[in-house]
Structure 1
Amino acid sequence: MGNSSAPAPAAHVRSFPMYLVKVRDFLQMDGPALPHGILRERGLLHQWCPGMFTIFVSHQWLGTAHPDPSGQQLAILRTALGRMIEGSLQVQQDLTSSTPAYRLVGPAHSLTSQTRQQIADGFLFLDWFAIPQITARLPGMNEDATKSEAAQAVQSIPAYVEAADLFIALVPELLHADTGLPCNYASWLSRGWCRAELWCRLLSSKQDTSVVVAYSANEAEFMLPLDWQRHLIADGSFTVESDRATVVRLGEVALESKLRTLQAAGPMSQYRFYLASRPRLLGQKQEDLTPDRFLEYFQFDSLASAIAESGMNGLMCAVLSGNVGMIHVLAEHKADVNYRLPDLSELGYYATQTLLMVAAKSYQAPSVLAALISLRADVTALSRAGFGAIFFSRSAEQVELLLSARAALHPTLFNGVAARASSETVSALLRARCEVSNRVAYGALHGVTLLARGNPHKYENAKLLLAHRADPNHRARPNLKYLLGLECKLASWIVDIYGYETCSTMARTGASLAGLTPLGAAALTGDSQLVGLLLSARAEISQNDRGDLPHELAAACGHTHLLPLLETMHV
């Protein structure tokens, strides 16, 4: 994790002291969170100084006047931190981000024993604790309070994030006290200020900018890289619309600071990636660069070096920046439009994926895909995982273009599109009469229930799939002839030895897959709306091949909010 002895970076100004609570004191608390003033009176607040191991907790408020009226959210955080410290809560990469070798041999990126001890001895930042007289942001309120302590503290949040050694997104599924709506990972990702905190973390100058997503007291993972890249800071949801401009500017400053750091210290691949992605990330107009300006901008010595370099080469930069003209120029100079990536998993792009796949999954305009196709990009190419470009489609326009070019279809096509893309994208495939197959190892509903946690369109996607005969009782069948099947078998052995509750999310999922229905998968991920939707579609309460019922899977993962519904249906 981050170096706790390093001084806070100077990219953001701290206008108000950063107040923290000792983790050991926090673990002794109970009930709803006490406000800043009371904690200060009791001597429980400490000002940040270099050397403090600091945990920044980002969360969505569960009430209008109080962040956690019943104390449910913080109770989950206390249990999760306690389990991290003792080592019974494993934090690893998610299933799709990790390589097969990683999944088989164990965590290459996890909480070390040193980090667990630092957490135990560390300090916690939570807005309600740290900011005096903080209130909910409402239109017409607090607009003239720019000189107040509370406003200064809110303006200092980017600096607080940069000072943190560990960043936790606290996103258990709980109901909002006033609206009654579920608050979870997808809703947290939708909030403008939560996105601002997230972007400040990921664009900070720290060497380790990982984000721990805590779904429950028993389940936590490192964030999928594409989860933040597809949730643009300018598109967040704000209670006070005037906050949008403030947060957009904050994102611009954070990204520029990141670029300066990478330009000075590298790696150059990341510098070029963020530079190429800057217009899309900030919602700005893409600029077509002349060849000379393109080479200067991305720091290539020549067209030849831009073509010859691996990783973030010239074509990758042109694709990610949406520069159609440079795609043609580079191709005319013999750049390979069927170039396959080396491993860029830290950025969300994986070995053997093609430029056409990159263009699709990075939300590029159809003109970028059309340019590659016109230059004979292979629309039938498959990645190492067996997926074609259309599997990675993110818009209806991309789907229509790829289908017109006769892109390779695959029986599990909907698993990728329904998990990651919008309902308009799914509808485009259905209009083209692409089949929602129930004759595959993993049905499309498995993709939605297991892989769509951050996708706000997942419920609509599931409804579309059910309306087109997706089987709500489809049982997953990992094939032991292939690596994933062997991993599932290994995961099952690990769970047998250590038990569900002390294994990682990856091990629990792998062990559960054989015979798992979409309802069981929704129980694993703790999604009450998907559980309700599947039950209304007559999903059966059935065991997987290990004999686990949905309510048992939910309990093992700490999703206790599902137990009344699932246990009642089981009885």
Structure 2
Amino acid sequence: VTPVHTLMGMKELKPHEELMQEGILVEYDDSKGNAMFVSHQWAGAEHPDPNFEQFTVLQDALRNAMSGTSLISGNISIELYTGQQVCVSAKDLTSKALYIWYDFFSCPQSSARAHDRQLAISSIPAYVDRCQFFVILCPHVRHAKHQLLLNKRSWESRGWCRLERVARELSTRADTGVSIEIQGATHQSQAAAFGWVQAPVGTGSFTVPSDKEKIAQVLQRMVRKKLHYYLVRGDLHSYRLMLNIQRVHYKDLHINPIEGLVPGFVSESHDPAVYAAESFMFQNGFNSINQRTAEGWTPICFAAVDGSPMLISALLEQRADVNDRMKQREPASQFGQDTPLLHMCAFLTNNEALRVLISSRADVAARDGFGATALVWAAFSNNVEGIKALWAAGCDPAAVNMLGYSPFRVASAVGRVDAMNELLPHTSKEEINLALHAAMLQGGGSAEVMSTLLRVGAEVDFKLNMPLISPLGIWFGCLSLRHRWKSSLLSSYAYHHYGATPLMCSVITGSFEATAVLLAAGARTDLRNLARCCGESWGLNRVRVPVFRLGVKVCPY
């Protein structure tokens, strides 16, 4: 690692071997202070940052955050749905000496040290585990060779980047550490802890296909370590959740879920379904099909997370409730209070289990604590197959959640283009217009989403006029009042939203891909909101935005 003050003074990015010779790198241990792991997508074929663009953003962002010039805001979606506002202050970053881990100078790069380099790569989970801060460095820059745009979405598409993120969530510091997204020198925010659910490691892209097999073994070791960690701590709920969500972690990887961690299971049954149910009950520590944990989960709730249709069927045959719900909010899995089984399967794309529940007459109109139907959760996870199954079973595509969001607007808000296209025939023109704003508010404002919405008729200058007497209108009213003495990214949006155009909202939220597409589509910069602000009021002419044509695609690498 390198001390942060040394990193700030770097004028070029040198490899590990050169910095070792210069005596700049130090071996980190906890007594020295805090460590920060920087995860990033390489902007060149042989060098991570040939034009020193990403690294300059990192330097400027850390300088601004540590001086208090900019604030690392809380995650806007979490604050929107739960009201929790947690920011990372300058004091959090400077209370102890800070050291930076960055692959190019922290791992051997020389081909002559290929073995050492492979050991270092295999040790990435250990590096992440020792870091108090995990940074996703994802500014808008062009790949030096391919000239394609790199950003948060292209970072998230990379298998190795996904591994680093899931290593963060499986680390022993997951509950106390902080994950941060850096998209610009003054645009930083806390990263959502549940992003890995939507982007399993095995479904990411790999430049070297054989890397996928290496990653599979590394990932399973991390999961096994975390399971033992929970057992030793006596945290049975987290153990059960991790045990049963393995199929999500291992999607598209040639490995099987870890089984039999708890010794002593014996069964006399020769029926595979009965055997599976008995083993499941034993390994999860349940004595009864109706037993409910202190956290509000029954056995079939965990089975819905596992997603085995045979297991779900076996538990239903034993009189488990097809309309059962988990009773308490579960931050680790993103589910809200009173989430039905159907919603869990729809979100986790456990579609065979979803069909078993539907055929067993699960209530497709049921709503969770967020007021959402299962169709909303299928849209959230881009689960087109689940959307089709739920719609065929009678789930209303126009049913809205507690914020007034339809499934289409939810899909737009989180950037799920396949789900948007599937839901489009059931979507009104007003919903399409409102989806422009939802995408900006919750991070879905990619070039592809904006282009899709504009192509199907969204008005480029549609002004947002949220009814005051509505769930979101009341919430925004409260946030606007709070904004005067305690601001956040969400409160700033709430304060300025009334009468704002999509262009204004894109600048407020730092959705600069959307800004570029809207400008290319002819968005006006002189229109004003109720507070008499326009796009130029937020320094639009000084904002660095990528250049787009409608229908642009970002880097797939």
TM-score by length of 1: 0.81
The residue type equivalent to 2:28 in the other structure is: W
Other structure's SS at 2:66 match: helix
**Aligned mates of 2:543, 2:117 — CA distance in 1:** 35
Give deviations 1:432-477, integer Å, cap 9, x for gaps: x30233169x712223333344x9xx54444443333233322223
Identity of paired residues, percent?
A: 23
RMSD: 3.2
Equivalent residue of 1:212, what SS? strand
- For the Cα contact (< 8 Å) 1:219–1:504, is it kept in 2? no
Partner of 2:399: 410
Letter in 1 for 2:372: F
Stretch deviating more after TM superposition (334-343 or 227-236): 334-343
Using the TM superposition, give the Cα deviation of residue 310 of structure 1 relative to its aligned residue in structure 2, in angstroms. 4.2
Matches within 5 A, 1:50-61: 50-52=30-32, 53-61=34-42
Aligned position for 2:429: 437
Partner of 2:131: 164
CA distance, structure 1, for counterparts of residue 118 and residue 217 of structure 2: 17
CA displacement 1:519-546 (0-9 Å, x = unmatched)? 3333345445433433444433333333
Tell me by how many angstroms 1:559 deviates.
5.1
- Asked whether the equivalents of residues 449 and 521 of structure 1 are also in contact (C-alpha less than 8 Å), the reply is yes
Residue 199 of structure 1 pairs with residue 166 of structure 2:
yes
Aligned counterparts of 2:418 and 2:547: Cα–Cα separation in 1: 33
Q: Which residue of 2 aligns with 1:102?
A: 83
Alpha-carbon spacing, 1:102–1:526, altered in 2? closer, same or farther (3 Å): closer
Q: 1:28 aligns with which of 9, 15, 33?
A: 9
Question: What residue is the counterpart of 1:569 in the other structure?
Answer: none
Deviations 1:376-419 (A, max 9, x none): 33222334444322122132221111112221323632111234
- Aligned position for 1:233: 201
Tell me the residue number matched to 2:24: 44
Does the C-alpha gap of structure 1 residues 469 and 98 become closer, same or farther in structure 2, counting only changes over 3 Å? same
TM-score (norm 2): 0.83
Q: 2:385 aligns with which of 397, 401, 419?
A: 397
1:519 aligns to 2:530 (yes or no)? no
For 1:101-129, what per-residue CA distance to the aligned partner results, in whole angstroms no more than 9, with x for missing partners? 635xxx3x43367533235x211111222
CA distance, structure 2, for counterparts of residue 395 and residue 133 of structure 1: 40
1:145 offset after TM fit, Å?
5.3
Q: Give the CA deviation at 1:341.
A: 3.9
Shift of 1:351: 2.0
Partner of 2:232 in structure 1? Answer: 264
CA distance 1:56–1:552, shift in 2 (3 Å): farther
The number of equivalent residue pairs is 518
1:255 equivalenced with 2:223 (yes/no): yes
Question: Distance between the aligned counterparts of 1:231 and 1:439, measured in 2?
Answer: 27
* Cα pair 1:54 1:163 within 8 Å, conserved: yes
> What residue is the counterpart of 1:71 in the other structure?
52
State how far apart, in whole Å, the 1-side matches of 2:538 and 2:249 are: 37
Secondary structure of residue in 1 paired with 2:2: strand
Quote the residue 1:302 is aligned against. 288
Q: Deviations over 1:545-564 (max 9, x none)?
A: 333333554769x9533699
Other structure's SS at 1:225 match? coil
Give the counterpart of 1:185 among 120, 144, 152. Answer: 152
The answer to whether the 8 A contact 2:2-2:26 is kept is yes
| Worse-matched range after superposition: 468-477 or 160-169 | 468-477
Instruction: Indicate whether 1:320 and 2:320 are aligned.
Output: no
The separation in 2 between residues aligned to 1:308 and 1:159, in whole angstroms, is 32
CA contact (8 A) 1:32 1:68 kept: no
Contact 1:311 1:344 in 2 (8 A): no
The residue number in structure 2 matching 1:139 is none
Q: Does 1:471 align with 2:455?
A: no
- Counterpart of 2:120 in structure 1 is 153
Match of 1:290 among 272, 276, 283: 276
Q: Is the 8 A contact 2:125 2:171 kept in 1?
A: no
Q: What is the CA–CA distance in structure 2 between the aligned matches of 1:101 and 1:163, rounded to whole Å?
A: 29
5+ residue gaps, structure 1, are 1-19, 135-141, 566-571
Aligned counterparts, 1:322-401, within 5 A: 322-331=307-316, 332-335=318-321, 337-339=323-325, 341-365=327-351, 367-393=352-378, 394-401=382-389
Q: Conserved in 2, the CA contact under 8 Å of 1:54 and 1:122? A: yes
Shift, 1:318, TM fit:
1.1
Q: Distance in 2 between matches of 1:75 and 1:364?
A: 42
- CA–CA distance in 1 between the matches of 2:308 and 2:431? 40
Question: d(CA) in 2 for partners of 1:347 and 1:554?
Answer: 38
Helix, strand or coil at the partner of 1:211: strand
* Aligned 8 A contact 1:97 1:348 in 2: no
